[in-house]
Structure 1
Amino acid sequence: MGQFCPGVRPRCRLDIRLVTETFPPDINGVATTLGCLVAGLRERGHRVVVTCPKAAVARDLGDGEEVPGVALPFYREVRLGLPRRRAFLADWREDPPDVVHIATEGPLGASALAAARALDLPVTTSLHTNFHAYARDYRLGWLASPVMRYLRRFHNRSANTFIPTATQAAELGAQGFERLMVLGRGVDTDLFNPERRDASLRAVWCADDATPVLLHVGRLAAEKNLALLADSWSRARAIDPQTRLVVVGDGPERTRLERQLPGAVFAGALRGEALARHYASADAFLFPSLTETFGIVMLEAMASGLDCLGFDYAAGRQLIDPGVNGLLAPFADTAGFLDRVPDLLAPESRRRRVRAAETGRAHSWAAIVDAFEQNLADVAGTSTIDAAARERLT
């Protein structure tokens, strides 16, 4: 396991191939992270060629390429790219990149890994999603162990694997994952900040300045522990019946959740300034998920000046000092989470909101991109993985 800091920027222009199943304008944490990393690398003068599956909304990939993909039958919003090992081999023989970065582990990513290794190209990977945990939420728990074995073999065949927190590095390292590199997450504070607060939007929610507004942002899917979101709103309304709940996001659970939560505002999937206004116009953020590798929405909420309640892991553990700039419950302690909901409505919440915004301002994307850039340059500086590692990977 390793954690790196921004170093001296590479002087040479890197030619990078990025292979991913998701990319903006997709709305999820992985797409957000990759979009910021790619934009930062391109601003620094590097060439980044993106390959990803076709989506309903056309992407602006520059000299990148959208390839055929299929939607997951139980989650139509998620698409997997089809394998294209031969195409990668032909493309990369003709125009060899300095380094290949594979951000997702589906069929498209697996074929890219096979092609990069066949051509002896430097390759790195990222682990963004707890697929093994998701299996349990979709009643496929029997797949959790095989999925973990697949992920371990996939990532251990690369020069290194980027993960978002030191805690996750320790957990994955104990399960046999090698060469893990901690790469944090940043936030665009020009976009996400308390100045975006909008009284007219609160009026649409039937909320004046004195009305508490709770916000949730994320995919509305089984793995997000949404029953706790509903219970949290009930607990808040038992204290102040005027408390509003605003839900931003879409997904397979939306229809059921709308039936379960009459009176809540469902804004759908948002991005850009519209999303920023929704964050800043609320008062507190509820994040009941137990399956995040990080949870970038929590950082966006803090930067927007919200008092956040989540569990003690991932972004919550990394960002929140309990009682100072947010609130945490012990991991998976549902009762503990609900017990902290009243604190979101207490006067002390205003003080935590100010400190949360300060925390957000301290997490710029520039430092994250610097670290990513330096590591890719280090990997690209060697034509092969060292011999001992190569022997382990075969």
Structure 2
Amino acid sequence: MRYAIVTETWPPEINGVALTVESLAHGLRARGHAIDLVRPRQPHDGDEVDDTLLVRGFPLPRYPGLRFGAPALRTLANHWRAQRPDAVYIATEGPLGWAARRAARALNVPVATGLHTRFDHYMRDYGFGFLEPIAMQWMRRFHNAGDATLVATRELQDDLTRRRFANPMRLARAVDGVLFHPSKRDTRLRESWGAGDGTLVAIHVGRIAAEKNLTLALAAFRALQRVRPEARMVFVGEGPLRASLAAANPDIVFAGLQRGEDLARHFASGDLFLFPSRSETFGNVTLEAMASGVPTIAFDYGAAREHLCNGEHGMRVHDGDAAAFVTAAMHLAADDVLLRRMRTNARAAIEHLHPDQVAAEFDALLQWLARRRNPHAQLA
């Protein structure tokens, strides 16, 4: 079959959407399908990229290095008339995504959309809470014009159903358990952080920005220092708050963006993953921490609710309870035996989340949409 995947972010850009979509595309190709990727042109791109339609991109405010795609409606329509896809997956709700949805509908091609980002929550995090209802209405309008809205958790599927989204469907997320593994723990890297064998290292991986609720991560670390005065804190990532947080916290390690094996070493070299974000639709980093054998403290939603067993793989905290988040950090910091047990349990809990299985489920869903739209077509 031929599938089209439309996304406004793609590696080497580092974010959960880009990496998830790349994994899905690779999985479908490995299953023998042709993939027609549509995305904005990136600075490193040449004139042509294999199996990819490049459109003009524009800088995304507040997100240096990321771009949104131009609404290339005519280009998409002409491209898909020449090579008609059996189904289209639209991963992002930007101008390119809206144009792709219109082009697919005009050609009677089934469309699945992915809801990866809670833009309504972002309104609150950036001080525009009064715009939350408008953002939700905009999201609902976009996704309801497709044939299915793919989400990563049952919790979000149920929430969208209550909010009158027409056909939310769960597609589990995978984690690369070969890349993210406890064996990647690196003594020399820990030493560069000022951490010896017995030093507790708290780590956060993600964008250093307001929506990640990093003041709570810092508060939890300062509290656990009262239990473990020698403890270290490492932030992996970049973002607009890095400079101000680094200036205010000169003892914190800011490791910058890490990719691939380097990211895996950073994860596995931590002892406790602090993830206080309340704006994720999922939170891939939760699975990556668990795969790396790092106990995690997170709020009770998204990946944590779906996969993290409270008291076994880390601590799930009632959503929004900052005091409980801090208390959980202090509790785990004081119990090395519990941390070691959680390290083993966390790794074991994600063994079944293999990318091949998720690709097979994604393939089956797209084929179902194609057959429903055109039941008499011969689909490979």
1:383 lines up with 2:373 in the alignment: yes
| Equivalent residue, structure 1, for 2:237 | 249
Task: Measure, in 2, the Cα distance between the counterparts of 1:106 and 1:303.
Answer: 32
Residue 187 of structure 1: CA displacement? 0.7
Residue 62 of structure 1: CA displacement? 2.2
Task: Measure, in 1, the Cα distance between the counterparts of 2:116 and 2:36.
Answer: 20
| Equivalent residue, structure 2, for 1:350 | 340
SS in structure 1 at match of 2:304: helix
1:120 lines up with 2:108 in the alignment: yes
CA deviations 1:21-61 (Å, max 9, x no partner) are: 11111111111111111111111111111111123444995
Corresponding residue to 2:322 among 322, 334, 337: 334
CA deviations 1:233-254 (Å, max 9, x no partner) are: 1111121111001111111111
Task: Measure, in 1, the Cα distance between the counterparts of 2:5 and 2:138.
Answer: 21
Amino acid at match of 1:38: A
| Equivalent residue, structure 2, for 1:9 | none
Residue 190 of structure 1: CA displacement? 0.8
CA deviations 1:354-389 (Å, max 9, x no partner) are: 10010122211111111000001111123369xxxx
1:366 lines up with 2:364 in the alignment: no
Task: Measure, in 1, the Cα distance between the counterparts of 2:176 and 2:203.
Answer: 19
Task: Measure, in 1, the Cα distance between the counterparts of 2:260 and 2:43.
Answer: 19
Contact 2:13–2:66 (8 Å) recurs in 1: no
Residue 75 of structure 1: CA displacement? 2.8
Residue 72 of structure 1: CA displacement? 2.5
Task: Measure, in 1, the Cα distance between the counterparts of 2:310 and 2:242.
Answer: 31
Task: Measure, in 1, the Cα distance between the counterparts of 2:108 and 2:242.
Answer: 45
Task: Measure, in 1, the Cα distance between the counterparts of 2:224 and 2:49.
Answer: 44
Mapping for residues 47-86 of structure 1, pairs under 5 Å: 47-58=34-45, 61-86=49-74
| Equivalent residue, structure 1, for 2:129 | 141
Amino acid at match of 2:339: S
Contact 2:310–2:316 (8 Å) recurs in 1: yes
Amino acid at match of 1:354: T
Amino acid at match of 1:294: F
Structure 2: segments with no counterpart, 5+ residues: 376-380
Percent identity of the aligned residues? 43
Contact 1:50–1:61 (8 Å) recurs in 2: no
Mapping for residues 1-394 of structure 1, pairs under 5 Å: 14-58=1-45, 61-345=49-333, 346-347=335-336, 348-383=338-373
Contact 1:280–1:306 (8 Å) recurs in 2: yes
Question: Which of structures 1 and 2 has the larger relative contact order (alpha carbons within 8 angstroms, sep 6+)?
Answer: 1
TM-score, normalised by the number of residues in structure 2: 0.95
SS in structure 2 at match of 1:173: helix
Amino acid at match of 1:48: I
Contact 1:77–1:251 (8 Å) recurs in 2: no
Structure 1: segments with no counterpart, 5+ residues: 1-13, 386-394
| Equivalent residue, structure 2, for 1:388 | none
Contact 1:305–1:357 (8 Å) recurs in 2: yes
Task: Measure, in 1, the Cα distance between the counterparts of 2:374 and 2:256.
Answer: 46
CA deviations 1:306-357 (Å, max 9, x no partner) are: 0110001111111111111111110010001001011222121111111001
Contact 2:3–2:36 (8 Å) recurs in 1: yes
Q: What is the total number of aligned residue pairs between the two structures?
A: 372
Task: Measure, in 2, the Cα distance between the counterparts of 1:228 and 1:109.
Answer: 34
> In the superposition, relative to structure 1, how do residues 61 and 302 fare at CA in structure 2: closer, same or farther (>3 Å)?
farther
Task: Measure, in 1, the Cα distance between the counterparts of 2:131 and 2:60.
Answer: 16
Task: Measure, in 1, the Cα distance between the counterparts of 2:150 and 2:65.
Answer: 25
Amino acid at match of 2:25: V
Task: Measure, in 2, the Cα distance between the counterparts of 1:175 and 1:229.
Answer: 31
Q: Which moved more, 1:242-251 or 1:376-385?
A: 376-385
Contact 1:52–1:81 (8 Å) recurs in 2: yes
Task: Measure, in 1, the Cα distance between the counterparts of 2:143 and 2:182.
Answer: 39
Task: Measure, in 2, the Cα distance between the counterparts of 1:324 and 1:93.
Answer: 52
Residue 263 of structure 1: CA displacement? 1.2
Task: Measure, in 1, the Cα distance between the counterparts of 2:349 and 2:250.
Answer: 34
TM-score, normalised by the number of residues in structure 1: 0.92
